[in-house]
Amino acid sequence: MIIDYTETGRIIASLTEGETDEVALMATVVCELHHADDRFDWTGFYRVVAPDLLKIGPYQGGHGCLVIPFSRGVCGAAARTGAVQLVDDVDAFPGHIACASSTRSEIVLPVRAGDGRLIGVLDIDSDRPAAFTEADSAGLSAILRSVFGDL
């Protein structure tokens, strides 16, 4: 099954309405996204906890890396540049951090509060090569703006 971003966005909006706690929001978003698409092998947030440092937040799937500096990996690149990272082949990404040997492709999106402050990144891994497209980037970005844009 492939995710219907409009419907999943509606479900997430109804579940998160009125919630302002970042971790509670992240946990709910991750749960809904992870179970909405069978391409999603690992789905989780890395939170900004210090300058240039991410720590694992709510996630679904196997264990993730605990700490990721902005200077390393796909998640670090998304945090450092503020740009969505769409990686068809993680082995070809310079400095990729292999948290799970099963990961073949990845999409990582910066997560910003309404004031523009970077609060983390959403990381979705797939055990399939080239699993993600610009449509995933657009759909996920819309959900993130709707959930975290009012914080």
Q: What is Dmax (Cα atoms) for the chain?
A: 41
* Residue 116, token pair as written in the block: 């523009």
Output the CA–CA distances (angstroms, integers) from residue 137 to 50, 75, 131, in the order listed: 26, 15, 12
Domain count, the chain: 1
pTM: 0.95
Q: Is the pLDDT of residue 50 over 80?
A: yes
Could you give the CA distance from residue 52 to residue 105 in angstroms, rounded to a whole number?
24
The predicted-structure confidence for 75-127, as pLDDT tens digits, reads as follows: 999 999 999 999 999 888 887 777 777 889 999 999 999 999 999 999 999 99
pLDDT of residue 101: 74
C-alpha 119, offset from chain centre: 12
CATH number, domain containing residue 38: 3.30.450.40
Q: What is the pLDDT of residue 142?
A: 97
**What phi and psi, each to the nearest 5 degrees, are found at residue 79?**
-70, -45
Residue-range definition of the domain harbouring residue 47: 5-148
